[in-house]
Chains A and B, each alone.
Chain A
Amino acid sequence: MIRPVATTREMTGMPTGRLAVWWVIASEIVIFGGVLGSYIMHRIGHPEWEYQAAHTNTMAGAFNTVVLLTSSLAAVLAHNAAEQKNGPKAARFLMLTCLGGFIFLVVKSVEWTNEIHHGYTLASSTFWSFYYMAAGLHGLHVIAGMVIMLFVAADARKNKELQRVENIGIYWHFVDLVWIFLFPLLYIAK
């Protein structure tokens, strides 16, 4: 469907940068997998957590899912533009992706402020510890992705290093992927 703009190494058969991103994702699967796996087994073993889970804001979580899915669309459209050697257009889509990440973080901040205001903090219970730790770790990945994306967009605007548009896009889709699982676990299973 899409051909990359980077060069390929003979030994691996793919650009080294993109392979590195896949390795990052492979390690992230173990990190988030451990967190989510632990959460699932404790959630099943502790039916009393339902009283705490009832206080998470499903609509805020659903809205943030829409935001992240839309930012993922912008990221893949940036890749599409980079494939057509249209750096400025790719940069614009990357900035839209960043905007999605920013909106996600703003909603999360409002949500957390409200929950902390009601007394649900990191130390309130094991459920809330998992909630803040899992969502917080994910939020840090959103911030990291946004920072890298700004650098990639700055180069892409000058039609430089366009292969990086795809690389950061793959990372961003993974961040989206983690949220796809976090959302039902933290907001829907009540």
Chain B
Amino acid sequence: MSDTAHASAGSHGDHSKHYIKIWAILLALLVVSVVGPIIGEKLEHGGTINHHMRLILTLITAFGIAIVKAFMVVKHFMHINLEKKYVTYMVTAMVGFMLVFFGGTAPDVLEHEGTHWENVSAKEVVKRGQAAGAAGAEHHGGAAHPAEGSHVPAAPVEQEVKH
């Protein structure tokens, strides 16, 4: 018995040329995703664009294109569009779980203070890390998280409630 999901879409013909074409497009997109942020950096240093514009350029060329590449791999190499619909639902549900996890935890990590709380140790780590990084002290790999790199413990109270 043949598979209905795939059988409905075509035959046993040779699709090599199609796959090579998709591969070439993926490589071209990769070049854009590498070159885009480099150009953005040069433009920012040259004063043509500001830091905000450079971030947008990086987001579009690196991460936007990564999503396009992922979509192409899923469709043309993994053939998810030829599978039973429930496979797509299954995979989409898992991506949804991932987003729920992100949405539930990110507010406590992205920001280090809110209306009634303040993450003292995280703010301190950022402050010291930026100072050490700017001073070029990161040569030995410990600057981004100075509390770990220098073996100095972070502030003992993770979160303080504002009164």
Contacts and interface: CB of A to CB of B under 8 A. Distances in A.
Contacts of A34: 98, 101
Contacts of B91: 22, 25-26, 29
Interface string B102-126: 1001100111100000000010011
Nearest to A123: B148
B12 A3 contact: yes
Contacts of B102: 37, 40-41
Instruction: Describe B's contact surface by its main secondary structure.
Output: helix
Q: Interface extent on A, as a size class?
A: 35 or more
Contacts, number: 215
Residue among B15, B20, B93 with the highest chain A CB neighbour number at 10 A: B15
A4 B3 contact: yes
Q: Is the interface of A mostly helix, strand, loop or mixed?
A: helix
Interface residues of B, number: 73
A27 B73 CA distance: 18
B7 interface: yes
Interface in B113-163: 122, 125-126, 129-130, 132-134, 138-145, 148-149
Contact of B70 (A15, A73, A170, A181): A181
B109 A52 contact: no
Nearest to B31: A62
B62 to A, nearest CB: 4
A29 B98 contact: yes
Contacts of A41: 102, 105-106, 109-110
12 contacts: A3-B6, A22-B90, A30-B94, A30-B97, A40-B102, A46-B126, A51-B133, A51-B143, A77-B16, A80-B14, A173-B73, A177-B70
